[in-house]
Chains A and B, each alone.
Chain A
Amino acid sequence: MRAEQRTNAKIDKDLLRPVMNTGRGWYITVALSGAMFLAAIGAFGYQLARGIGVWGINRPVMWAFDVTNFVFWIGISHAGTLISAILRVTGAEWRRPVTRCAEAITVFALMIGAMFPIIHLGRPWLFYWLVPYPNERGLWPNFRSPLAWDFFAINTYLLGSLVYLYLPLIPDVALVRDRSNGLRKRLYGALSLGWRGTQLQWARLEKAVQVMAVVIIPVAVSVHTIVSWDFAMTIRPMWHSTIFGPYFVAGAIFSGIAALILAMGVIRRVFHLEEYLRPVHFNNLGLLLLTMSLIWFYFTFSEYLTVWYGNQPGEMEVFRSKISGAYAPLFWGMVLCCFVIPAPVLAFKRLRTIRGTVIASALVVAGMWVERFLIIVPTLAKPELSFNWGSYRPTWVEVTLAFGTVGYFVLLYTVFTKLFPIIAVWEYKEGLPFGEHGERTIVSTPEAGLESA
């Protein structure tokens, strides 16, 4: 009993340390990422003042960095909720220190991804015209447009993942509340919604989290499917593809897991959580990442092989520009970053270390950004009528917006780790009785199995 109390006290102390104490590194991170975010706001202000022509977009390349960032961030958001939900639903015990890192990534990546459909408008101040409500213009949005579907899909996912982040946060918020005083106590008191830790409250919380975990999985799948339909519903070469839905979802989970491993690597080091985020977590997530890398390669191979074999002139022009034309360095760089390097690193146990998985993840995140870019721009640059072929080069405004949103993500995440324990304290403690067995398959005699069933 004593030992158990000591363990619990140590867990509380370790996991609440980032919330209770603020190091110099935290301020530096906030300052740097905040500066990047301010730069992005400045770039957007410049764009508003001068017009969207300050971007490198042109006719025919009407979408470029803007929609790339949109698809990329929505993809990153699949880290979270989806991975955490699947691990919860399947009862993977090793998930416990991972879930909250993942859920927070989802919410922040979605917030950033959802900004881009507004930023990319020619007249961003009229974005509310996309919102369906009875208005003075007497006009509903066009429900046939995939952009209108995006509006519903993203908002549903954002609300759902916010709830899914918040519910398991409640007991931890109460924990902070009980250990603080003054304004902080009042604030966390309100946020903890009167959590007392009674049996009934626990039962209801578990039930609600279970329900949300099941509900969020189809929502997450539908979101990136609908994002892919922004392209697949058109009649453009190499956009009009039936596999875009699953291809995008797989890519999203792929980049999402990579982002999660990256975030965990950083958290583990800066908050000294080596005892909590252990090699086994990186190993297991690394195996998931390997699976997704193989699936991603399979989809990419299928997509390009069928285009090449079909040999239709319009599609072949886009195909050639990617494989051997102007976009070839990006294309082969993407294959290198998403498959050729990470797959062996993740496949061999000796390389699948914390360092190995983090490096592989960094490559995958970069590679998946390029993948989104290569889906969008080469197709637009090669319209059917060859008179109108074009090219694209980003301007400093687009580059600033892209990097600025990375800064914004880091800023949001850093502030989050200050406000809430980034590893779910109660979930971690709850898993203690399972101990080391949780990581292995629990077997028993067949008779016992029948009785319990």
Chain B
Amino acid sequence: MVIDLDRCTGCEACVVACRVENNIPTVGPEEAAKGRSINWIRVERYFEGEYPDVKARFMPVLCQHCEEAPCEPVCPVYATYHTDEGLNAQVYNRCVGTRYCANNCPYTVRFFNFFNPVWDAPLDKALNPEVSVRTGGVMEKCTFCIQRIRKGEDKARDERREVRDGDVTPACVQTCETKAMYFGNIADPESEVSKLSKSNRAMRLLDELGTKPRVVYLNKGD
């Protein structure tokens, strides 16, 4: 995934789209105040420059699907593991809730269900049937909309061809008003994300930790 920070307006449409697509429970204001809200993608705000020449910047942060993910080796029950495609997968049914993975994630993008989830009406009638809901006591996080990835792969297989750009669009990418987000196959040198990630504006979050994040940010072009 590539996210162009110069185009991000911080509108948080991606946050809403993700919540609807992935059956993310609302925890209520009191729990959220305790730091227990669940947002697989969140928009962080920071400021550049000194007053009066100051500029607010926005950065959508989601699971970076690290190639060397620190969350993976510490899970004692293989609830989180690396798929052959390079995704950092989370198997909810295996999770016993040690929360070790969240402690070892430098991006703090892993979310724990402290209670059994509830959806305020009418959200309970709007659950996405293609995404499993999670029970209390398990960890969850961004999946890069794995249900959409599978669908795109199926379509490509039906048409007897490789997956190509446009086959898979996660909810956040689809909804981004300013087209700041791109999704594709980084192993394919012809894909848009491959080309963009070679840009001299490209950077990776906390790259120095050696986690090899799979989300590339484009920055400082304006």
Interface of A toward B, CB cutoff 8 Å: 50-53, 56-63, 117, 120-123, 126-127, 129-130, 139, 141-142, 144-148, 151, 230, 233-236, 380, 383-385, 387-388, 390
Give the total number of A-B pairs whose CB atoms are below 8 A apart: 132
Contact status A234-B99, CB under 8 Å: no
What chain A residues lie within 8 Å of B96 (beta carbons)? Answer: 121-123, 126-127, 129-130
What chain B residues lie within 8 Å of A146 (beta carbons)? Answer: 74, 100
Choose the segment among B108-116, B156-164, B171-179 that binds chain A (4+ C-beta atoms closer than 8 Å).
Answer: B108-116
Give the docked Cα–Cα distance between A60 and B36 (Å): 9
A52: contacting residue among B35, B77, B95, B114, CB under 8 A: B114
Q: Which of B99-139 contact A (CB under 8 A)?
A: 99-100, 102-104, 106-108, 111-116, 135-139
Contact status B136-A51, CB under 8 Å: yes
Instruction: Say whether, besides A59-B102, A62-B102, A385-B44, A122 and B136 are in contact (CB < 8 Å).
Output: yes
Whether a CB of chain A sits under 8 angstroms from the CB of B206 is: yes
Give the docked Cα–Cα distance between A390 and B98 (Å): 19
The dominant DSSP class at the A interface is loop
B114: contacting residue among A51, A380, A383, A388, CB under 8 A: A51
What chain B residues lie within 8 Å of A145 (beta carbons)? Answer: 73-76, 100
| Smallest Cβ-Cβ distance to A61: which chain B residue | B35
Whether a CB of chain A sits under 8 angstroms from the CB of B67 is: no
Instruction: Say whether, besides A59-B35, A380-B103, A53 and B94 are in contact (CB < 8 Å).
Output: no
Q: How far is the CB of A390 from chain B (nearest CB, A)?
A: 5
Give the docked Cα–Cα distance between A122 and B205 (Å): 29
Contact status A235-B97, CB under 8 Å: no
6 shortest interchain CB distances as A-B pairs: A122-B97, A122-B137, A53-B114, A58-B35, A62-B99, A51-B115
| Smallest Cβ-Cβ distance to A120: which chain B residue | B98
| Smallest Cβ-Cβ distance to A150: which chain B residue | B76
Give the docked Cα–Cα distance between A122 and B115 (Å): 9
A59: contacting residue among B97, B98, B112, CB under 8 A: B112
Contact status B31-A53, CB under 8 Å: yes
Interface of B toward A, CB cutoff 8 Å: 31, 34-36, 44, 46, 61, 70, 73-78, 94-100, 102-104, 106-108, 111-116, 135-139, 205-206, 209, 211
Could you name 12 residue pairs across A and B whose Cβ atoms are closer than 8 Å? A60-B108, A63-B103, A121-B98, A123-B135, A141-B76, A142-B73, A145-B75, A230-B100, A234-B103, A235-B106, A236-B106, A385-B44
What chain B residues lie within 8 Å of A60 (beta carbons)? Answer: 35, 102, 108
What chain A residues lie within 8 Å of B112 (beta carbons)? Answer: 59, 62, 122
Contact status B61-A385, CB under 8 Å: yes
Give the docked Cα–Cα distance between A146 and B99 (Å): 13
Contact status A141-B77, CB under 8 Å: yes
Instruction: Say whether, besides A51-B114, A53-B115, A130 and B35 are in contact (CB < 8 Å).
Output: no
Q: How far is the CB of A64 from chain B (nearest CB, A)?
A: 11
What chain B residues lie within 8 Å of A61 (beta carbons)? Answer: 35
What chain B residues lie within 8 Å of A385 (beta carbons)? Answer: 44, 61, 106-108, 205-206
Contact status B104-A236, CB under 8 Å: yes
Q: How far is the CB of A290 from chain B (nearest CB, A)?
A: 35
Give the docked Cα–Cα distance between A419 and B115 (Å): 43
Give the docked Cα–Cα distance between A50 and B136 (Å): 9
Give the docked Cα–Cα distance between A117 and B113 (Å): 18
What chain B residues lie within 8 Å of A56 (beta carbons)? Answer: 34
Give the docked Cα–Cα distance between A121 and B137 (Å): 7
| Smallest Cβ-Cβ distance to B211: which chain A residue | A235
| Smallest Cβ-Cβ distance to B108: which chain A residue | A388
What chain A residues lie within 8 Å of B113 (beta carbons)? Answer: 51, 122
Contact status B108-A383, CB under 8 Å: yes
What chain B residues lie within 8 Å of A122 (beta carbons)? Answer: 95-99, 112-113, 136-139
Q: How far is the CB of B37 from chain A (nearest CB, A)?
A: 8
Q: How far is the CB of B122 from chain A (nearest CB, A)?
A: 24
Instruction: Say whether, besides A58-B36, A59-B111, A120-B98, A235 and B76 are in contact (CB < 8 Å).
Output: no
Q: How far is the CB of B162 from chain A (nearest CB, A)?
A: 32
Q: How far is the CB of B96 from chain A (nearest CB, A)?
A: 5
What chain A residues lie within 8 Å of B104 (beta carbons)? Answer: 234-236
| Smallest Cβ-Cβ distance to A127: which chain B residue | B96
What chain A residues lie within 8 Å of B35 (beta carbons)? Answer: 58-61, 390
Give the docked Cα–Cα distance between A57 and B114 (Å): 9
Contact status A142-B115, CB under 8 Å: no
Give the docked Cα–Cα distance between A146 and B95 (Å): 16
| Smallest Cβ-Cβ distance to A130: which chain B residue | B76
Q: How far is the CB of A280 from chain B (nearest CB, A)?
A: 46
Q: How far is the CB of B113 from chain A (nearest CB, A)?
A: 7
Q: How far is the CB of B57 from chain A (nearest CB, A)?
A: 12
Give the residue among A117, A141, A145, A236 with the most B Cβ atoms within 10 A. Answer: A145
Give the docked Cα–Cα distance between A170 and B95 (Å): 44
Give the residue among B75, B76, B77 with the most A Cβ atoms within 10 A. Answer: B76
What chain A residues lie within 8 Å of B138 (beta carbons)? Answer: 122-123
What chain B residues lie within 8 Å of A53 (beta carbons)? Answer: 31, 36, 114-115, 136
Give the docked Cα–Cα distance between A127 and B94 (Å): 11
